[in-house]
């Protein structure tokens, strides 16, 4: 679970260092900027999206006006977020 912008924090990179391939990564709050299409980290994120199951919280995308996402990420709402947390062991970075 990542809630910091990838442009100002190493949270995402730190998470990727330790997460095993195929794990679920949830981007929420400022973490959602990682899933935005057209950024300088897009190609890196395309790889991340193919190696991991990447989820992004829809309400935080809307709040920040982000509507174009890289392919391979799944939008979830608050209820979906809760389901994911129930389903997995969680770790906040």
Partner 1 sequence: MNDEMAKLMVVFRTAPYGSIYSFEGLENVLIMGAYDQDVSVLFIDDGVFAIKKGMDNSGTGIKDFSPTFRALEAYDIEKIFIDRTSMESRGLTKDDLVIDAELIESDTVEKMMEEQKNFFMF
DSSP 66: -
Q: Does 68 bind partner 1 (CB under 8 A)?
A: yes
Residue 2 CB neighbours (<10 A): 25
Query: Could you say which of 47, 50, 63, 92 contacts partner 1 (CB under 8 A)?
Result: 63
Residue 5 as a binder of partner 1 (CB under 8 A): the answer is: yes
Q: Taking CB under 8 A as the rule, does residue 13 contact partner 1?
A: no
Q: Does 22 bind partner 1 (CB under 8 A)?
A: no
Pick from 11, 33, 34, 55: which binds partner 1 (CB under 8 A)? 33
Q: Assign 59 to helix, strand or coil.
A: helix
3-class DSSP state of 30 = helix
SS3 70: coil
Q: Tell me if 76 contacts partner 1 by CB under 8 A.
A: no
Task: For the chain, count helices (H), then strands (E).
Answer: 4, 3
Binding residues for partner 1 (CB under 8 A): 3-5, 7-8, 29-30, 33, 36-40, 42, 58-60, 62-68, 77-78
């Amino acid at each position: 679970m990542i809630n910091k912008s990838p442009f100002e924090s190493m949270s995402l990179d730190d998470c990727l260092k330790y997460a095993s391939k195929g794990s679920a990564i949830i981007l929420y709050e400022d973490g959602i900027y990682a899933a935005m299409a057209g950024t300088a980290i897009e190609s890196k994120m395309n790889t991340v999206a193919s190696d991991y199951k990447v989820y992004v919280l829809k309400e935080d995308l809307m709040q920040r006006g982000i509507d174009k996402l890289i392919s391979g990420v799944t939008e979830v709402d608050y209820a979906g977020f809760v389901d994911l947390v129930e389903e997995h062991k969680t770790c906040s970075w």
